[in-house]
Chain A
Amino acid sequence: GAVVSQHPSWVICKSGTSVKIECRSLDFQATTMFWYRQFPKQSLMLMATSNEGSKATYEQGVEKDKFLINHASLTLSTLTVTSAHPEDSSFYICSASGGWEQYFGPGTRLTVT
């Protein structure tokens, strides 16, 4: 089956710094990648949708200047959390789609101190 990886799996950063999370489709070309965040005991919430080579589409309420998304190739998308604050601490999950099905990555746990 299709495999999606994320790196890092967990990261701790200080308030005010930026952190980058990578999402890779390992065995297929992903024309679209999605970024989600998940708070404890809650379901996944879509943050943005990105298509290779074009700007990401952000969901209402998600600050595009704070959560920078780059989908530079058909196998890689990155999410950069800029000027992170403790309230940005969450579980970030990406998914990749080469057709109609989405395949999810293992997630990245971000803790901002």
Chain B
Amino acid sequence: KNQVEQSPQSLIILEGKNCTLQCNYTVSPFSNLRWYKQDTGRGPVSLTIMTFSENTKSNGRYTATLDADTKQSSLHITASQLSDSASYICVVSANFGNEKLTFGTGTRLTIIP
């Protein structure tokens, strides 16, 4: 069964600090892995998309890594800001085209001043 697990479930850090969120998956055959940011009451917004050949991808203060061998990914947030408070969802796709996505349950990140 295709699964995506994220840790931690929730995280609270001080503004300005860095943090790393983890994602483990068992989706096969792997096509791509995505990280989304979802603000409360809003739809998910794409941060990064990585195929199996990509080890790292950055989007501003967000850097995602992918290890296709161990089926692990991480999302590193640098110099956190209050606006980074949101849920971060790891999503894995098994096929190219209009495929179904397997969603992780998300990490709820709270930045405190």
| Chain A residues close to B by CB (< 8 Å) | 4, 6, 31-32, 41-46, 49, 51, 91, 93, 95, 97, 100-107, 109
Contact = CB atoms under 8 A, between A and B. Distances in A.
Given A32-B98, A104-B44, 11 more contacts: A43-B89, A43-B104, A43-B106, A44-B89, A51-B98, A93-B43, A95-B43, A97-B98, A100-B99, A104-B36, A106-B42
B103 A44 contact: yes
Contacts of B42: 106-107
Nearest to A101: B49
B101 interface: yes
A105 B43 contact: yes
A contacts with B: majority SS: strand
Interface string B61-102: 000000000000000000000000000010000001111110
A86 to B, nearest CB: 19
B97 A100 contact: yes
Contacts of A97: 98
B83 to A, nearest CB: 17
Contacts of A95: 43
Interface of B: 36, 41-46, 49, 89, 96-101, 103-106, 108
Nearest to A41: B108
Contact of B96 (A41, A100, A103): A100
B38 to A, nearest CB: 9
Nearest to A98: B98
Given A32-B98, A49-B98, A42 B105 contact: yes
